[in-house]
Amino acid sequence: MFITHLPHKSPMSGLFGDSSKSYWLAVELALQLPWFLVSFREFESNSADAPSVGRTMMIHTVEALEQLVLESDGGLFKFDSVYIITPGHVNGTDQWQMDLLDCIRTADEPEAPGQVVDVFETRGGARYACSLLGTSIEDLRIGAVRFQSP
């Protein structure tokens, strides 16, 4: 989740005419967990020559990423890239990192049958997981692809 603070609301927010949207100069992360930066083109129609606009979204959960994919099934979205941003405790460093995401796989906890963990694989070959039990990636039972990046 992302937290917004009123002092960081853009003074330009009221100028764009859409009261359903707010514009922010800064947002804060509520939790030190991986999140996604997704770039895509949104088309006005399914026509081959339909105009499009480039959009970029910050998405905090795999479920929200999957929801965006479901919304794109009508052909009005074309994904350009999906990046995963990981905190140091996930990527094994002391800082945040951004990697081009290849896929997300499900994995089972070997000591907790039925408990599923997401494993994030990057185009560069890195793999990350956030096991609530602290299980290393090597010990997880990695299974099917849940999400495949474009």
96's tokens: 């945040």
Listed as own residue / partner, the contacts of 19-27 with beta carbons closer than 8 Å and 24 or more positions apart are 27/2, 27/3, 27/58
The pTM for the full model equals 0.88
Pair 90, 34: CB distance under 8 Å: yes
Domain assignment present for 22: no
Say which amino acid occupies 111: E
Domain assignment present for 36: yes
In percent, how much of the chain has pLDDT > 70?
A: 99
> How many folded domains does the chain comprise?
1
Three-state secondary structure call for residue 24 = strand
Q: How far apart are CA 131 and CA 119, in angstroms?
A: 9
- DSSP H helical segments within 57-145, as ranges? 62-71, 88-91
Per-residue model confidence as pLDDT tens digits over 92-134: 999 999 999 999 999 999 999 899 999 999 999 999 998 999 9
Domain assignment present for 1: no
Domain housing 142: 27-44+52-148
